[in-house]
Structure 1
Amino acid sequence: MTILVTGAAGFIGAHVCQALAAAGQAVVGLDNYNDYYDPQIKRDRVAALCPQVDIRVLDLTDRSGLDALFEEVAPSAVIHLAAQAGVRYSLENPQAYVDSNLTGFVNILELCRHRGVGHLVYASSSSVYGDSATPPFSEDQRIDRPRSLYAATKAANELMAYTYAQLFGLKATGLRFFTVYGPWGRPDMAPLLFSRAVLAGRPIQVFNEGRMQRDFTHVSDIVAGILGALSHPSTETIAHQVFNLGNHTPIELEHFIGVIEAAAGVAARKVYKPMQPGDMVRTMADTRRAEQAFGYAPSTPIEVGLPPVVAWCREYFGQAV
């Protein structure tokens, strides 16, 4: 019984591989190690978190390569985390999102269907809520007014997975992640951007004049949610389900920065900016559905989870923060 993890060298993927391997699961990963951010961070992340996991270098658009991998590995389940990430980058390079998040997702659906995969767990995003949602965001709210192409591709993934569940009986679970942070995180996201800048004495850009809230969720809580969802596929006739995975506690951006300042021992140099295109002012997860389905219970406040991120940045990047 082998679990295939896509995006295995990514921030969440490597932590998931680490947890599965620690639990004694047979795991195979794939990742294309693209240059959206420095691939060396991905290689170092794998070496630190899951060096024992077999991770193949493969792109989601390589249908023949994926087919050969599925034939060789015969996964019983797939945790699909690979995608082109980033809201703002989707304004600059939309084709990357079409290739990875649409074409690549269809390739995964097709292979799961034809290779008899028992359960597909895939990454969606809190960004699907867009302009339609009223906090706290619940899975029953509309997701048809996205604020970015990235969000639109993630909403499309949910529709595609539902269709395959309806037509072909593929058990599929979508997980809407809310602003995940932790050591070995993505360097393009606020936790690392702010931590590195504060440590180096560089100014940070604070958008919407600081009037923003985010449901920051520690990676350990996200991993627990992924593994919980994996072991609880839908039992409905159309076996597709969607869950929020967040901390259900939105944090003021100024408080978030304050925790970083305290951990770094340095005051932030703030440059206030207007709202960025594609961003959302506030995110907040209603996690009751995940709690009822598999006992999801996030337990890491930023006051506990964020200082180790600052310490990791200081250690990993050194003088190059």
Structure 2
Amino acid sequence: MKTYCVTGGAGFIGSHLCGQLLAQGHRVVNIDNFNDVYDYKTKIRNILSSTGTVFPYLHSGDKMDDLAKLQAVVESDHYRLAVADIRDMDELDAVFASERIDAVIHLAAMAGVRPSIEDPLLYEDVNVRGTLHLLEAMRKHGVRKWLCASSSSVYGNNKKVPFAEEDVVDFSISPYAATKKACEVLGHTYYHLHHIDTVMLRFFTVYGERQRPDLAIHKFVKMLDKKEELTMYGDGSTRRDYTYIGDIIAGILGALTYVEEQDHTYEIVNLGTNRTITLRDLITTLEREVGEQAVIRTLPHQPGDVEQTYADVSKANRLFGYEPQTDFAEGIHKFVTWYRGDRHG
């Protein structure tokens, strides 16, 4: 049994990852601060799903009380929930001092392009300074293996497709993208100075069960289900490389095995599907799956939004056998089934 620290382990991707690590028999230390970007009870449900725990205090209405009770309920030989903020060096130090961590999977971040334009200082504080704090905790406590979530947004409006890891990514068009590029640079610095083996994972538009409620697919399904108007920015021609959560988790686990087997390595790797879907096609697919016709309100293209994302995944395949298995329609079906069952209402 190994001990893995997952930051942001109560979130969409993190809770799925924690569940898989637990299923493999490992110990998971989940660091999450349960910020107020969306309802903290959504994250509680994620943890309950990933740990298979029954928690009767979900609707008490007192956040700190709920989290304290949750920590007590989920605590086991295999799982620990540390309610902590990666911007607080003392909190991180306390966690790392009390655990023998084999590797870190760093998913915690302020996410989203448009909100980063509204509050760039917060994004810098959490994504850059928080990541630096984590790296310092790793250095101090001798943890020398980590994965870090980067983003397809670092490619900006790259004209060359598909996007490959060796492409120049010096032209970010949002503060969010800039913070993710900064994390990649910090990762290389600590690899070089402190021999921390590193894989930076550039995620391409992840969707699926437990997706955050502020993301497009989740919002659109909710609006369609309630027969509400959909807001579409631009003419619907923007394209995204949508990647199903199961494929992302398989990629993370493959990268984890890879980095654990290496001695002195730094890699940047795309995790996508190597295919794209237009916004118009996304809406059509959702209409068909939900069984409702969308009423669409068209607004201008938003600053910071890239025209397309499109992943070259050949490097991930070469390094650790990454092969996405879920086509878009199948993934949307799984999401809508989850929404109407486990999540809806």
From the superposition, tell whether residues 314 and 235 of structure 1 become closer, same or farther in structure 2 (CA, over 3 Å): closer
Measured in 2, the distance between the counterparts of 1:192 and 1:214 equals 15
Measured in 2, the distance between the counterparts of 1:170 and 1:317 equals 39
1:299 aligns with 2:325: yes
Sequence identity percentage: 40
From the superposition, tell whether residues 21 and 317 of structure 1 become closer, same or farther in structure 2 (CA, over 3 Å): closer
Measured in 1, the distance between the counterparts of 2:38 and 2:11 equals 10
Measured in 2, the distance between the counterparts of 1:190 and 1:64 equals 36
1:178 aligns with 2:204: yes
Contact 1:133–1:143, Cα closer than 8 Å, also in 2 = no
Contact 2:144–2:195, Cα closer than 8 Å, also in 1 = no
Structure 1 segment 217-256 matched on structure 2, within 5 A: 217-233=243-259, 239-256=265-282
Measure how far apart 1:133 and its partner are.
Answer: 4.8
Measure how far apart 1:272 and its partner are.
Answer: 1.8
Measured in 1, the distance between the counterparts of 2:260 and 2:274 equals 23
From the superposition, tell whether residues 9 and 235 of structure 1 become closer, same or farther in structure 2 (CA, over 3 Å): closer
Counterpart position of 1:194: 220
Higher deviation after alignment, 61-70 or 226-235: 226-235
Contact 2:197–2:263, Cα closer than 8 Å, also in 1 = no
1:15 aligns with 2:10: no
Contact 1:259–1:307, Cα closer than 8 Å, also in 2 = no
Measure how far apart 1:233 and its partner are.
Answer: 1.7
Contact 2:199–2:267, Cα closer than 8 Å, also in 1 = yes
From the superposition, tell whether residues 235 and 73 of structure 1 become closer, same or farther in structure 2 (CA, over 3 Å): closer
Query: Partner of 1:255: helix, strand, or coil?
Result: helix
1:116 aligns with 2:117: no
Q: Which amino acid aligns with 2:179?
A: T
Measure how far apart 1:16 and its partner are.
Answer: 0.2
Structure 1 segment 264-275 matched on structure 2, within 5 A: 264-275=290-301
Counterpart position of 1:33: 34
Q: Which amino acid aligns with 2:29?
A: V
Q: Which amino acid aligns with 2:173?
A: R
**C-alpha deviations, 1:107-166, integer Å up to 9, x for none?**
111111221113110100000001345220000001110010000000000001001111
Measured in 1, the distance between the counterparts of 2:262 and 2:217 equals 38
Measured in 2, the distance between the counterparts of 1:8 and 1:310 equals 23
The number of equivalent residue pairs is 319
Q: Work out which of the residue numbers 98, 104, 124 in structure 1 matches 2:130.
A: 104
1:157 aligns with 2:204: no
Query: Partner of 1:232: helix, strand, or coil?
Result: helix
Measure how far apart 1:49 and its partner are.
Answer: 2.2
Measured in 1, the distance between the counterparts of 2:340 and 2:323 equals 30
1:86 aligns with 2:112: yes
**C-alpha deviations, 1:246-270, integer Å up to 9, x for none?**
0111012222111211111111111
Higher deviation after alignment, 266-275 or 227-236: 227-236
Counterpart position of 1:3: 4
Q: Work out which of the residue numbers 131, 136, 144 in structure 1 matches 2:170.
A: 144
Counterpart position of 1:205: 231
Measured in 1, the distance between the counterparts of 2:263 and 2:26 equals 28
Measured in 1, the distance between the counterparts of 2:253 and 2:114 equals 29
1:257 aligns with 2:283: yes
Contact 1:182–1:218, Cα closer than 8 Å, also in 2 = yes
Contact 2:7–2:32, Cα closer than 8 Å, also in 1 = yes
Higher deviation after alignment, 230-239 or 278-287: 230-239
Q: Which amino acid aligns with 1:139?
A: E
- Structure 1 stretches of 5 or more lacking a match? none
Measure how far apart 1:236 and its partner are.
Answer: 7.8
Measure how far apart 1:6 and its partner are.
Answer: 0.4
**C-alpha deviations, 1:210-229, integer Å up to 9, x for none?**
11111000000000000100
What is the TM-score with the length of structure 1 in the denominator? Answer: 0.96
Contact 2:153–2:177, Cα closer than 8 Å, also in 1 = yes
Measured in 1, the distance between the counterparts of 2:275 and 2:211 equals 20
Measured in 1, the distance between the counterparts of 2:269 and 2:196 equals 17
Measure how far apart 1:237 and its partner are.
Answer: 7.7
Measure how far apart 1:234 and its partner are.
Answer: 8.2
- Structure 2 stretches of 5 or more lacking a match? 54-73
Measured in 1, the distance between the counterparts of 2:107 and 2:5 equals 10
Query: Partner of 1:13: helix, strand, or coil?
Result: helix
Measured in 1, the distance between the counterparts of 2:218 and 2:190 equals 37
